[in-house]
A = this chain, B = another copy of it.
């Protein structure tokens, strides 16, 4: 049988509240009493019932994290970072994955775990702005990932356009001219890959290079298989890019697989750059050059946002003070952007955790690699 405060109280010959005071380290407890109670606690092996505590206090100490899919190592690594960041604030993480389904994302935001979580960190893929605007649940919510909504919720995301431009600029500097973008989703213009595609276009334009629409590879999703399919389609269409900027590392890895099958050498024939900096990318036959978002910072900032929202539900959270600077090759210092629309009693902030362009020569080729296009 489980032992409660009452049992301890009986054993220590003291009131329930006194035991509670000892457990919660309240002042006004005589050392003698404290010791007597502590002894009873130890002897009985008392452990507080968190459910009851939370019912009383209105907080559960649990933060939910909802990502599209754990099978994607990026989200797995991010989840690990969030768990650690939450632990530093004495929070535990309830993990859910939405499979990139709008319905599941909707369900999560509308509090299907109602009253059992204190806050929610969500990486949406399909959710629309109106879905979020219609949200009735007042559980603190933080958004992470590329999708941006003009809504009063904190949003943690790196500057995807800048990151994409940095990649393209770098490839241009290396002498590449026919730079493909792999990972556009044609079906919906506001899809996550949109910003990276925009950055690709913008930087090419800035350099006076034509953004050849035929070099945009479409995908169904962003897995390795999708990357392979897109690369194969590109090659089958007769395209011969001298560089590939993939939406993420998984797409890049799938594409490289196809390149190997077709006898295209990386980086001699094609330079490849990914996004996410997965451990996986470092240990392929060639190491993948990639954009490395600071996952630790993302996790930390997201958790802090939730914690701050909980600390004072009415006042604006002040996360900007904790944003830190990255010593990034082409990075962005972490900065809190202009607050979004005010609503729900507080402002939504755009928070940039910063990124690094991790250059690994093996997929880039040394400076001025021969171009074949």
Enumerate chain A interface residues (CB-CB to B < 8 A): 2, 45, 47-52, 54-55, 60, 62, 69-71, 73, 75-77, 79-80, 83, 92-97, 111, 113-116, 136, 223-225, 228, 253-254, 256-257, 260, 279-280, 282-285
Contact of A279 among B2, B48, B224 (CB under 8 A): B224
* Min CB gap A2→B, angstroms: 7
Complex: A95 Cα to B86 Cα, angstroms: 12
* Min CB gap A112→B, angstroms: 9
Contact of A80 among B2, B47, B69, B280 (CB under 8 A): B69
* Min CB gap A361→B, angstroms: 14
* Min CB gap A93→B, angstroms: 6
Contact of A97 among B80, B224, B260, B283 (CB under 8 A): B80
Are the CB atoms of A50 and B115 closer together than 8 Å? yes
* Min CB gap A81→B, angstroms: 9
Are the CB atoms of B96 and A47 closer together than 8 Å? no
Complex: A93 Cα to B77 Cα, angstroms: 18
Contact of A50 among B50, B75, B95, B116 (CB under 8 A): B116
Chain B residues near A260: list those with CB within 8 A. Answer: 285
Are the CB atoms of B284 and A45 closer together than 8 Å? no
Closest 4 CB pairs of A and B: A76-B76, A224-B283, A95-B95, A49-B115
Complex: A62 Cα to B116 Cα, angstroms: 10
Are the CB atoms of B257 and A71 closer together than 8 Å? no
Are the CB atoms of A114 and B71 closer together than 8 Å? no
